[in-house]
Amino acid sequence: MSGDVILDIRDLKVSFTARRAGRKRRVQAVDGVSLSLAEGEVLGIVGESGCGKTTVGRSIVGLARPDSGSVAFRGAEMIGAARSSLREMRLNVRMVFQDPYASLNPRRTIGDAVAEAGDINGFFKSRAERSAAIAATLTAVGLDPSFAARFPYELSGGQRQRVGIARAILPTPSIVIADEPVSALDVSVQAQVLNLMMDLREELRLSMLFISHDLAVIGQISSRVAVMYMGRIMEQAPTRTILDHPLHPYTISLMAAVPKPDPSKRILGAIETGEPPSQFNRPAGCVFAPRCPLASNRCRGDVPELRPVGDGRVVACHNI
């Protein structure tokens, strides 16, 4: 990792109530996740839709209430913190959302959206300072300052996502949590937004939690990767280690799903078949066992714990 730990998550569990067949049931979205983020690091969280990665991000910023566990920013606990302390921590931990249109209020101008956190926290001493900060932030994300007077419906998807990034960096935070920030964009625009985020990370010395379902995207921006499946971490390692030599069968299947023009570089071998099991009927033992070609009786009965296997990698698998 790049430096001292700035964000430390321990045994995070989050569940929701959902209705099925007329009955309320509890769905375990996150099941004992532990992660740490160092100063200046980009940690990628990758997995299929519904694996709980977005819920982890939303729990950190207080948009989802954990059942149990710990989320500490610079050693200070965020869950259950006093309002004054929590407000200060939230200024330092900001989020870029997946849908650049739904995350913006259509009735508010772009300038008001970008300045919202500063307005709420009394960051600006005058209207002139506020206008200058909005203009500088819009310029930093590649938009003309005149965009401050526009409304979200007047912007393209890529421009709206730039506004979402601008809103997350004014005032400048310590951590940005990016939740699938390019998945709703065209491929050409994805590259531009990724490059922008990498440039801002360097310029503003940000730490970043980058959430995505796409290992190819994660590989471009992150230094470490945590692979999630049904609320659990399956494997965690430096990005290059994961991309060059995935170990967990689920990680292998994700890597095999990444399109590769060169047939010699395609991953063959252990790839699961079928769909994930229902969240209402979670399997005992390893949650990946019903889809895993390597599953044994032990896998179907005992939950594998994350354990180190060398090269800075931890894996939750009985067969590795």
pLDDT band at 278 (very low <50, low <70, confident <90, very high): confident
Structural domain total, the chain:
1
> For residue 214, is it within any domain?
yes
Q: In the chain, what percentage of residues exceed pLDDT 70? A: 94
pLDDT(214) > 90: no
> For residue 97, is it within any domain?
yes
> For residue 53, is it within any domain?
yes
Q: How far apart are the C-alpha atoms of 72 and 50, rounded to whole Å?
A: 25
Nearest to 28 by CA among 53, 49, 52, 10: 52
pLDDT(48) > 60: yes
Q: What is the pLDDT of residues 24-41, one digit of tens each?
A: 888 899 999 999 999 999
pLDDT band at 263 (very low <50, low <70, confident <90, very high): low
SS3 content of the chain, % helix, strand, coil (to 5): 35, 25, 40
Q: What is the per-residue pLDDT for 88? A: 82
> For residue 320, is it within any domain?
no
Q: Exposed e or buried b for every residue in 5-32, given b needs 16+ CB within 10 A?
A: ebbbbeebbbbeeeeeeeeeeebbbbbb
Q: What is the per-residue pLDDT for 35? A: 96
Q: How far apart are the C-alpha atoms of 136 and 134, rounded to whole Å?
A: 6
Q: How far apart are the C-alpha atoms of 114 and 137, rounded to whole Å?
A: 8
Q: 0.85 exceeded by the pTM?
A: yes
Block residue for tokens 């440039």: 199
> For residue 257, is it within any domain?
yes
pLDDT(20) > 90: no
* One-letter-per-residue 3-state SS of 62-88: CCCCCCEEEEEECCEECCCCCHHHHHH
Give the CATH number for residue 166. 3.40.50.300
Query: CB neighbours (10 Å) of residue 224?
Result: 25
Structure tokens at 78: 């965020």
pLDDT(203) > 80: yes
**What DSSP character marks residue 185?**
S
Q: 264 lies in which domain range?
A: 5-315
Name the maximum alpha-carbon separation found in the chain.
68
> For residue 188, is it within any domain?
yes
pLDDT(268) > 60: no
| Residue 66, preceding peptide bond in cis (omega within 30° of 0) | no
Q: What is the per-residue pLDDT for 2? A: 53
Q: How far apart are the C-alpha atoms of 307 and 236, rounded to whole Å?
A: 10
Taking residues 96-111, report their average pLDDT.
Answer: 92
Residue 231 sits at φ, ψ, to 5 deg, of 85, 0
